[in-house]
Structure 1
Amino acid sequence: MASSAANDGAKPARPKGLKLLRIALRQRKSATMLGFGFSSGLPYALLIGTLNAWLGEEKIDLATIGVLSWIGLSYSFKFLWSPLVDRMPLPGLDRLGRRKSWILLCQMVLVLGFGGLAATNPATAIGTFALFAFFAAFASATQDVAVDAWRIEVADEATPVELLSSIYQFGYRIASIVGGALALVMAGRMSWPLVYLSMAGLIVAIMLVVTLRAPDTPRAEQGALHAALAQPGELAPSARWAALAVVGVSWAWAIGTIGHFMVGMLAPADPASPHPSVSDFTRSYGPWIVVATVVVPLVVAALTNWLKAHGRAVLTAPDARVSPLRTAANHLYVALVSPLAELSGRLRWGVLIVIGMILTYTLCYNIWSSFAFPFYLEHLKYTKDEVAFASKLFGIFMTILGISLGGYLFTALGRMPTILIGAILPILGNFVYADLAEGARHIDAVGNATGLNALFALFGFDARMVRLLLAISFENVSTGIAGAAFVAYMSGIVSKSYTAVQYALLSSLTFLIGSLGRGIAGEAFDTYGYATVFRWTAAAGLVAVVMVLLEWVRVARAERK
């Protein structure tokens, strides 16, 4: 009887693959989620990866490509304007639905952005080209905010959020193949502008077929928002606004500084006033940007905890006052201050180790990831079809294998050993790529010794293609394990009280150092060559290993208490 009851109460296994797709197409909400997942994944693939293949073909220098890759910071900073997406009704579009209206607006901007890219020649107007790319990336990141909220709100017993999340990932993966492999194959047979116009047409089709017909949820009442902040013991509004102002000004300065440099770097060249140096900017401003976006918010968070613990500047009675301005400020406070305040209050000094690990864990492969297509296409001289197959088809399967291995290692070895393995393997992957850049002598030796060269030859691959497949295999399996380990780690470190906001904030920090480093990496590739920079980025990964070991010690001590 007990066994039967347990079996009755057990959750059914989550469907995968084609079975998941069939379920998605059977229900309106899940079918919509599939379309939204595709709509989120397509612009990311086109803007963060495939766009650099186009720029490389146009002989844009790698330093400029590195700076242009900073448009990816839109995805890192999207939590900053998420309160606006959450609360602001869009004139003329709001009648479509609170989430649909924003999704539709973002999709329209994406279509215009891709159209602008198609109409601009990056070789002669890189500044205008970058502007269109930035608007498209901003619209894509904003669409992600609305889609994430839609997924959580429309979930019910028939379509639980876990199923919708799986369907979202399925659509996202399909889009990464379309925006990566298919786009490269198309570019081998037509012009790049026509490729991006075709991708804009896909987004228009999603707008007409999916977005306009999607269900939506009613808008929440203004007065019910963040009622907990009005309870006795919470910070008084004046103290919250002061904390928010300090953090907000810090973030605004960081974003403004990065934006100003990007504008100067991508402006037309003037012999009398050459472009600024990316490495000089990163050395001079990079540490201060980290201080403004990480250290200052942490200090403010610790100060708010101290004030509450000592009963300073706190409410002594419930505060029932409600206004649109206060509601907006509460949203920003919960997005920018509360997540780190909770984390620092819970972990105390250990929060420094956690933040240090989050900032550095993906460093050694995030820095150079934007240069993969120029490396394959321009430096190694592979064809677009070869790179499309190796990187975006074969490579995706290797990533899935790595994610699966990461899940197995978690079960077999535990959390911290798997996280440590995930920090070490990408370092070795960078050495593999350094070898590939120098002729792949060691890759050939491993392929011959293991019989992999002979195995791949049975499928018609020559030695040159086998080198690329083996390098991508090791890299994608390594980063798959690392990614699975890191997502699981961050999911475990966040508070259930701030799950969505805290995870969004912490995950954004994972891209911060890597995104800043891409600019200097591009200049370094031009100056020192790929192999040397791959070894440098491998050395940078050692910082993550040290931080993981420190976190392992912290966790072990916390478990003994």
Structure 2
Amino acid sequence: MASAAATEDKPPRPKGWKLLRIALSSRKSATMLGFGFSSGLPYALLIGTLNAWLGEEKIDLATIGVLSWIGLSYSFKFLWSPLVDRLPLPGLERLGRRKSWILLCQVVLVGGFAGLAVTDPSKAIGTFALFAFIAALASATQDVAVDAWRIDVADESTPVELLSSIYQFGYRIASIVGGALALFLAARMPWEGVYLLMAGLISLIVLVTLRAPDTPRPEQGALHASLAEQGELAPQARWLALGVVAVSWAWAIGTILHFMSGMLRPLLPGEKHPSVADFTKAYAPWIVLATVAVPLIVAATTNWLKASGHAVLTQPDHKVTPLRTAANHLYVALVMPLAELSGRLRWGVLVVIGMILSYTLCYNIWGSFAFPFYLQHLHYSKDEVAFASKVFGIFMTIAGISLGGYLFLRLGRMPTILIGAILPVLGNFVYADLAEGAVHIDAVGRTLGLNALFGLFGFDERMVRLLLAISFENISTGIAGAAFVAYLSGIVSRNYTAVQYALLSSMTFLIGSLGRGIAGDTIDRFGYPTMFRWTAAAGAVAILFVLLEWVRVKRAEMAEAKAE
């Protein structure tokens, strides 16, 4: 009863301007606002807005699709997170354990954006891509350090929940600045000037970083004591398992980088760029095998070894060395999350992984081409796209997320997840109609009186088409996003929450990122409508896996009921 009363007395989480006032009321919270902005701005500029610039420079869409693979830096950041956590930076360590890494990343970001500003993508796309990749790598690494900083500095006066809300507030402000404001400015000044201005904004955040509090670095110790207990895998077996997984990941990343460099290098007379479609067909299945199937097989093997008593410790081994500590970090990040998941779900883990890989597929694939689609194909102005996509669209996404939460309460988890898988597929057909002249969108708008409603606010029929398409798409993906985050949060183990969630969530971007290259190639060859329909068909795979997962969950619930 006391616990319930405490919950009822707990004040609601602040929002909006009240949250902003709280954010500026203390050093920690104000710093968190700045760090949220510093994390959100590079992502908006590199993953979305950059493609508007490239489209304006007449860069072919296959190349834009390949260049969007820099987004894999955000998917793979958990691979080098142990390095960020444990490695002191020479010369910068005195600034603080987390601040040193955040400052380094911000300096690199400023240099990366300045490099983009002084490079002409139409003449030196390889150099341009290199600066974009460096900036994406710095941005992803900054995210690792900022996430750790937020957890480290939280206390009773500024709890982690409040800091997380402030972080999201800063991140959303940055999304508007890096999206809507950047497009608005680009309509009035060169893109080079826009990116120099954005580099200047990050330079201002450097001043926030220098003033930020930090926590001391803990002494090296038994990082993961459970690995040293009797019955756990012996160090040699762990290192072998880690080695197999590390080699698989290294091969996959190296293969992607090698193809990107070949695709983006200057051509000699008579040469042609390699085919994105051929690369995707030849290597994408192997990349998925190396980054998903091999780690899953290794994880299942470690479970079998422990269960059968092979290659395990016969007595506790608490030896601590810097090398073993670093290896333990990597083992916990790369092997243990899947080992726990496969041990708990057994063969059902294949359905879960299949669903995770495919759930966001149909809208993740084409998202990088949204700005070229609006600006170059449909010929909307930068101001129109800025408002529709980054202002109006954000409100529609928030509406979708809220609706997703409501559906969870009213319908339950699996029905909402299924709705979240179906709606984005329909959204792709809406966009195919928009690409072909919006005959059906216009009919719906007139029938429901939406054209007249939007007309009251000064929007003509052409603009209403874009707003209706974005409304359906953003509400759909908002529902899907809310459903998927809730699903992932429910499927992870409480013992491995952070690392397991990071690994599983990174998988959601893997196939979508690989598919962007072939999506760009498809647009160049067959046009936008065909690409939208093909990606809608890919979304049907997610629907199938959701249905299989629903069956698995029902069977698990029935088994638990019988056991009771």
The TM tier, using the shorter chain, reads over 0.9
User: How far off is 1:320 after superposition?
Assistant: 2.0
User: How far off is 1:68 after superposition?
Assistant: 0.2
Kindly indicate whether residue 15 of structure 2 is the aligned counterpart of residue 16 of structure 1. yes
Q: Secondary structure at the match of 1:402?
A: helix
- Residue 298 of structure 1 corresponds to 296
Alignment partners' CA distance in 1, 2:179 and 2:250: 33
Following superposition of structure 1 onto structure 2, how do residues 75-86 of structure 1 map, counting pairs within 5 Å? 75-86=74-85
Q: CA contact under 8 A between 2:435 and 2:528: conserved in structure 1?
A: yes
Q: Secondary structure at the match of 2:150?
A: helix
Alignment partners' CA distance in 2, 1:8 and 1:67: 49
Kindly indicate whether residue 122 of structure 2 is the aligned counterpart of residue 123 of structure 1. yes
Kindly indicate whether residue 112 of structure 2 is the aligned counterpart of residue 113 of structure 1. yes
Alignment partners' CA distance in 2, 1:3 and 1:361: 41
Following superposition of structure 1 onto structure 2, how do residues 479-518 of structure 1 map, counting pairs within 5 Å? 479-518=477-516
Q: Which amino acid aligns with 1:267?
A: R
Among 310, 325, 337, the alignment partner of 1:339 is 337
| Closer/same/farther in 2, CA of residues 554 and 10 from structure 1, 3 Å limit | farther
Following superposition of structure 1 onto structure 2, how do residues 229-248 of structure 1 map, counting pairs within 5 Å? 229-248=227-246
Q: Secondary structure at the match of 1:242?
A: helix
- Residue 441 of structure 1 corresponds to 439
Alignment partners' CA distance in 1, 2:78 and 2:2: 45
Following superposition of structure 1 onto structure 2, how do residues 133-172 of structure 1 map, counting pairs within 5 Å? 133-172=132-171
User: How far off is 1:7 after superposition?
Assistant: 5.2
Q: Which amino acid aligns with 2:120?
A: N
Q: Which amino acid aligns with 1:242?
A: L
Gapped runs of 5+ residues in structure 2? 560-564
- Residue 191 of structure 2 corresponds to 192
| Closer/same/farther in 2, CA of residues 8 and 292 from structure 1, 3 Å limit | closer
| Superposed CA RMSD | 1.1
Alignment partners' CA distance in 1, 2:164 and 2:492: 19
Q: Which amino acid aligns with 1:311?
A: G
- Residue 25 of structure 2 corresponds to 26
Following superposition of structure 1 onto structure 2, how do residues 139-538 of structure 1 map, counting pairs within 5 Å? 139-208=138-207, 210-538=208-536
Q: CA contact under 8 A between 2:114 and 2:199: conserved in structure 1?
A: yes
Alignment partners' CA distance in 2, 1:140 and 1:475: 27
Give per-residue Cα distances to partners, 1:476-514, cap 9 Å, x unaligned: 000000000000000111111111111110000000000
Alignment partners' CA distance in 2, 1:8 and 1:263: 55
Q: Which amino acid aligns with 2:447?
A: A
Q: CA contact under 8 A between 2:333 and 2:499: conserved in structure 1?
A: yes
| Closer/same/farther in 2, CA of residues 100 and 121 from structure 1, 3 Å limit | same
Q: CA contact under 8 A between 2:263 and 2:274: conserved in structure 1?
A: yes
Q: Secondary structure at the match of 2:128?
A: helix
Q: CA contact under 8 A between 2:113 and 2:196: conserved in structure 1?
A: yes
User: How far off is 1:181 after superposition?
Assistant: 0.2
Following superposition of structure 1 onto structure 2, how do residues 73-112 of structure 1 map, counting pairs within 5 Å? 73-112=72-111
User: How far off is 1:357 after superposition?
Assistant: 0.3
User: How far off is 1:4 after superposition?
Assistant: 10
Give per-residue Cα distances to partners, 1:360-380, cap 9 Å, x unaligned: 000000000000000000000
User: Please, which moves more after superposition, 263-272 or 436-445?
Assistant: 263-272
Alignment partners' CA distance in 2, 1:4 and 1:167: 27
User: Please, which moves more after superposition, 256-265 or 29-38?
Assistant: 29-38
User: How far off is 1:272 after superposition?
Assistant: 3.5
| Closer/same/farther in 2, CA of residues 204 and 432 from structure 1, 3 Å limit | same
Alignment partners' CA distance in 2, 1:212 and 1:259: 34
Percent identical: 82
Alignment partners' CA distance in 1, 2:443 and 2:457: 20
Give per-residue Cα distances to partners, 1:251-308, cap 9 Å, x unaligned: 0000000000000000012243311100000000000000000000000000000000
Alignment partners' CA distance in 1, 2:218 and 2:416: 41
Alignment partners' CA distance in 2, 1:242 and 1:414: 42
User: How far off is 1:5 after superposition?
Assistant: 6.8
Q: CA contact under 8 A between 2:222 and 2:325: conserved in structure 1?
A: no
| Closer/same/farther in 2, CA of residues 3 and 351 from structure 1, 3 Å limit | closer
| TM-score normalised by the chain length of structure 2 | 0.98
Q: Secondary structure at the match of 2:302?
A: helix
Give per-residue Cα distances to partners, 1:139-193, cap 9 Å, x unaligned: 0000000011111111112111111111111111100000000000000000001
Alignment partners' CA distance in 1, 2:344 and 2:9: 33
Q: CA contact under 8 A between 2:222 and 2:320: conserved in structure 1?
A: no
Q: Which amino acid aligns with 1:55?
A: L
Alignment partners' CA distance in 1, 2:331 and 2:352: 22
Q: Which amino acid aligns with 2:243?
A: A
Alignment partners' CA distance in 1, 2:479 and 2:155: 32
Q: Which amino acid aligns with 2:210?
A: L
User: How far off is 1:419 after superposition?
Assistant: 0.4
Q: Which amino acid aligns with 1:536?
A: W
User: How far off is 1:228 after superposition?
Assistant: 1.4
User: Please, which moves more after superposition, 40-49 or 20-29?
Assistant: 20-29
Q: CA contact under 8 A between 2:222 and 2:318: conserved in structure 1?
A: no
Q: Secondary structure at the match of 2:311?
A: coil
User: How far off is 1:525 after superposition?
Assistant: 0.4
Name the count of aligned residue pairs.
559
Alignment partners' CA distance in 1, 2:67 and 2:3: 59
| TM-score normalised by the chain length of structure 1 | 0.98
Q: Secondary structure at the match of 1:222?
A: coil
- Residue 562 of structure 2 corresponds to none
Q: Which amino acid aligns with 1:419?
A: I
Alignment partners' CA distance in 1, 2:238 and 2:6: 49
Alignment partners' CA distance in 2, 1:347 and 1:11: 36
Alignment partners' CA distance in 2, 1:526 and 1:272: 20
Q: Secondary structure at the match of 1:26?
A: coil
User: Please, which moves more after superposition, 472-481 or 11-20?
Assistant: 11-20
Alignment partners' CA distance in 1, 2:343 and 2:204: 48
Alignment partners' CA distance in 2, 1:217 and 1:316: 38
Q: Secondary structure at the match of 2:331?
A: helix
